[in-house]
A = this chain, B = another copy of it.
């Protein structure tokens, strides 16, 4: 035996049997011990294979009940959200940054659902790719949770990069929508007013304390892609 059975082999074999309907959707599969014996490898190897397939949504596992082929596989798309700078430079373009405004203000009402109190720092800025508007950033940073932000002028370093370097966060909530460009948005992004805008909104917490909320607008042509 030149090659041992690795967990990748086990995953491939399981997927093969699902595809050829040896194990149709909903079917009960053999337990780890039996499958390990059949494929002549250790149970830990089968465990890792099955665990990863379960994480991926292909299998459903329950103690004592056993492992089944997922009946309605909830497909998961994993979106990578890199730094804007890295994203732009990754496309071979030159990245640049412009601060639009920066001022402390009371908590805007739309942030109240997030349980924010005290003052926030409101920042608007623009990220450009080869001099063309790429992403408009409208951000609010809690001065209660991140008082150090008050000392930053953000003329050179974008709030995005500053936050990542300074404030380690533990929880994030993201949502995506399509919206019509407001007049100011359209002007900054160099698009006709009312044109479709791809919007990502992100709220961030550290240890349960609200840190920042950001609204990122891209011209509609922006494409977010993933594969699996």
Q: Chain A: residues with CB nearer than 8 A to chain B?
A: 15, 18-19, 25, 57, 72-83, 86, 164-165, 168, 170-180, 194-199, 206-207, 218, 220-228
The oligomer's copy count stands at 2
Q: Is the CB of B175 within 8 A of A178?
A: no
A207 to B74 CA separation, bound complex (whole angstroms)? 20
A225 to B176 CA separation, bound complex (whole angstroms)? 7
Tell me how far the C-beta of A207 lies from the nearest C-beta in chain B, rounded to whole angstroms: 8
Q: Which residue of B lies closest to A21 (CB)?
A: B168
Q: Is the CB of A178 within 8 A of B206?
A: no
Q: Is the CB of B173 within 8 A of A225?
A: yes
Q: Is the CB of B175 within 8 A of A224?
A: yes
Q: Is the CB of A75 within 8 A of B86?
A: no
Q: Is the CB of B194 within 8 A of A178?
A: no
Q: Is the CB of B79 within 8 A of A77?
A: yes
- For A198, the chain B residues whose CB sits under 8 A away are 176-178
Could you list 7 examples of A-B contacts with CB < 8 Å?
A18-B168, A76-B80, A174-B225, A176-B224, A176-B225, A179-B196, A180-B196
A79 to B223 CA separation, bound complex (whole angstroms)? 15
Q: A81-B77, A180-B196, A221-B177 are in contact. Are A228 and B171 (CB under 8 A)?
A: yes
Q: Is the CB of B168 within 8 A of A227?
A: no
Judged by DSSP, the binding face of A is strand
Q: A76-B81, A79-B79 are in contact. Are A19 and B174 (CB under 8 A)?
A: no
- For A227, the chain B residues whose CB sits under 8 A away are 171-174
- For A176, the chain B residues whose CB sits under 8 A away are 176, 198, 223-225
Q: Is the CB of B206 within 8 A of A73?
A: no
Q: Is the CB of B77 within 8 A of A206?
A: no
A178 to B75 CA separation, bound complex (whole angstroms)? 21
Q: Is the CB of B77 within 8 A of A82?
A: no
Q: Which residue of B lies closest to A25 (CB)?
A: B165
- For A15, the chain B residues whose CB sits under 8 A away are 170
Q: A196-B196, A196-B220, A222-B178 are in contact. Are A172 and B79 (CB under 8 A)?
A: no
- For A172, the chain B residues whose CB sits under 8 A away are 75, 77, 227-228
Tell me how far the C-beta of A18 lies from the nearest C-beta in chain B, rounded to whole angstroms: 6
Q: Which residue of B lies closest to A218 (CB)?
A: B178
